[in-house]
Amino acid sequence: MKKTLTLFLSFLFIMIEFSACKKKEIGTPGENEIFLLYKTFSPTSLVIKKGTTVTFTNKDNANHSVSSSSGLFNSGKIKSDESFKHTFNDAETYNFFCNYHSSQQEQGAVIVQ
């Protein structure tokens, strides 16, 4: 009886641990949307037309930000499941990065035509 109870409790503990480690559902970015993920953006580049608003959505459990290399925009802290929007009015390439992670690792570009 004691052995059966021990096995049952061990099994129950393992099931609780696995359910707590459940990965967050990410999905696919919508049109003109970029996901912020651990040390990456998805997609890393986006081609749009002038006047388009891009939504940057944090799909990670950690905080992120989106800052343009030229200083045009800076989202500040974007918490999990929050978003930042920016409208791109001029035709050029806008490189951006996350302030919370190395700009060498987490960077991307919006190409406005």
- Better-scored residue on pLDDT, 102 or 59: 59
Q: What is the dihedral of CA 39, 45, 94, 37, to 10 degrees?
A: -20
Residue 19 phi/psi, 5° resolution? Answer: -70, -30
pLDDT at residue number 2: 64
pLDDT at residue 20 is higher than 90: no
pLDDT at residue number 24: 60
C-alpha 109/C-alpha 113 separation (Å) is: 13
- Cα of first residue to Cα of last residue in the chain, in angstroms, is 72
Domain count, the chain: 1
Would the pTM of this model clear 0.85, i.e. be above it? no
**Residue 49 sits in which domain range?**
27-112
Mean pLDDT value across residues 5-15 = 54
Cis (ω within 30 of 0) for the bond into 29? no
User: Is 14 part of any domain?
Assistant: no
Closest CA to 112 of 55, 48, 64: 48
What digits encode the pLDDT tens for the residues 41-88? 999 999 999 999 999 999 999 999 999 999 999 999 999 999 999 999
Q: Tell me the CATH number at 87.
A: 2.60.40.420
